[in-house]
A = this chain, B = another copy of it.
Amino acid sequence: MNKERLARYLPFLNGARGYDRDSASRDGLAAIILTLLLIPQSLAYAMLAGLPPVVGLYASIMPPLAYALLGTSRTLAVGPVAVVALLTASALTPLFTPGTAEYAQAALLLALLSGGVMLLMSLLRLGFLISFLSHPVISGFISASAILITLSQLRHILGIQTRGDTALELLHSTLTALPDTSLPTLSIGGLSLLFLHLCRRRGKLWLSVVGFTPSLASALPKAAPLLALLVSALLVTLLGLEQQGVAVVGEVPRELPSLSLPPLELELIVKLLPLAVLISLVGFIGSVSVAQTFAARRRERIAPNQELIALGGANILTALSSGMPVSGGFSRSVVSYEAGAQTPMAGALSALGMALTVLLFAPLFESLPRAVLAAIIIVAVLSLVDLGALKRTWQYAWQDGAAMLATMLGVLFINIETGLLMGLGLSLLLFLWRTSHPHIAVVGQLPGSQHFRNVDRFHVIESPSVLSVRVDESLYFPNARYLEDRIAQLVADHPGIRHLVLMCSSVNLIDASALESLGAISERLHSAGIQLHLSEVKGPVMDRLRRARFLDQFGGRVFISHYEALLMLDPNTTRGTLNSLAAHCPIQSDLKPAKEKSE
């Protein structure tokens, strides 16, 4: 394997040569700031996933290392993220009790499967599968998930027990248990919510006002979660709040995770596989979007297929090191970028920071109140809820709005997978519906020009014997039959025509179904005494038509330009000026020898 090829699979090598002391010190600073952010986030998202909070710390050690070696983004920070944590909980709670050892083992298996699915997708070049999930579906999924997460975390803020998976169940269960609210817990949780919310919304402004530099004013509020944790832990310890019913994180072992393989039970694998696929897709989409945003700022390039390998590797490593499913996170990547991270080394150093945190400070986490972690989660995810997007999307195109609404309702009131499947199904159906009704226009000649335009929109000249039809779409199976219908209609509406010319300037592809349909159309027109012709067929489409026998059989001609077709078939109406036609010819003589094109 030569050096270039090696660098493709280990992208960090590209940056290794120019790495100097300046870059190293910037990376180091960024790593420290990133670590301070990651500690509360990791603890919180592990709790969200139904796992012991320390698992979140473990999951922040190996995955960033894997990504630093394999990933193509210089900025993306990988670790536990909210949506993936929710998917993890949603996969495991029907099977095991949260907090048990089986639950934690199953989470490892889930991460391993997700990693495997990502590697497989990379191997089979299936990254395009994420195209199935349209923006409105993802947007609806994220908003609904955030609401669901918030509802599920309310119990920690209130210090009550709730159960249920859907929004209705959670709401009902929370309201029923409301009388059991623990006031000390609510005080801590409520104050944390308020504090974190204010820091997030006003922190930057207030710090600027009291004289901090802009960069500090924007960086310091990011430390609010850590501050909230430390202060609340101190309060709990000093006031002995644990005895008054404030739930805390509890014992955190002061040791690094040992490497081990999760148990591979076939039955469990089969049960977990669907959600592992979902985690792979959702994690991949999220990571690539974030990575591309930062890559653009640095004019770099993200290789989606290599990203699959990197994320797959990160998930497999997290599975081997007692972690949980991971993905690239937006907020942590912002922090890393703004803190001046130059290379993936920042991520690697933050992994070191997390490892040191576990080794040195683990006992400190014992008294962290779960209510504060819940507040951190809620404030983080509520910023993802964008109900206005539903209205905007609906106004832009009701089809997109409907897919988004279906996703949201499904996620909230049935379950996450069903919601995504509903959105996916509806968007595919409506996509097919749209693409199966392409715009088909009868065109006529603009007086005195060689241009042909829609007869409904322009004052044009129509030939009495030649019907000109333009299709504004590639011809493939979703619209092949519609084309047959429309041509049949148009012919019935235009008695007296002898030729029909299909203008193919917008046709980028003709698949086998459309070819059959063209054959059927040609045959039916024949029996009605009409000859079919084509015009302005693009090069690659023409190559393909030549391979099939259609061109020999349909009996018509293929014209370079639509004008030429009319000039030939109905010279009287067309009144063409041959010298203006000649003006088009230089284009052809400028043609390079066509390259062999892949489809």
Contact = CB atoms under 8 A, between A and B. Distances in A.
A512 B131 contact: no
B135 A513 contact: yes
**Max chain B Cβ within 10 angstroms of own Cβ: one of A139, A404, A435, A511:** A511
Interface in A423-444: 427-428, 431-439
Nearest to A288: B481
Contacts of A397: 511-512, 544
A485 interface: yes
Interface stretch (A240-248, A249-257, A290-298, A558-566): A290-298
B527 A481 contact: no
Size class of A's contact patch? Answer: 35 or more
A462 interface: no
A508 B428 contact: no
A172 interface: no
Q: Give the secondary structure class of A's interface.
A: helix
Contacts of A540: 439
A489 interface: yes
B457 A594 contact: yes
B135 A516 contact: yes
A131 to B, nearest CB: 4
A586 B446 contact: yes
A592 interface: yes
Contact of A488 (B301, B479, B548): B301
26 contacts: A128-B482, A131-B479, A135-B512, A135-B513, A135-B515, A135-B517, A136-B513, A293-B520, A293-B524, A295-B488, A296-B524, A297-B528, A298-B528, A400-B512, A400-B513, A401-B512, A431-B511, A435-B474, A437-B599, A439-B540, A446-B586, A447-B590, A456-B595, A458-B587, A460-B590, A506-B508
| Closest 3 A/B residue pairs (Cβ) | A296-B524, A134-B477, A400-B512
Interface of A: 128, 130-136, 139, 288-289, 292-293, 295-302, 304, 392-393, 395-397, 399-401, 404, 427-428, 431-439, 446-449, 451, 453, 456-460, 472-474, 476-482, 484-485, 488-489, 491-492, 495, 506, 508-509, 511-513, 515-517, 520, 523-525, 527-528, 539-540, 544, 547-548, 586-587, 590-592, 594-595, 599
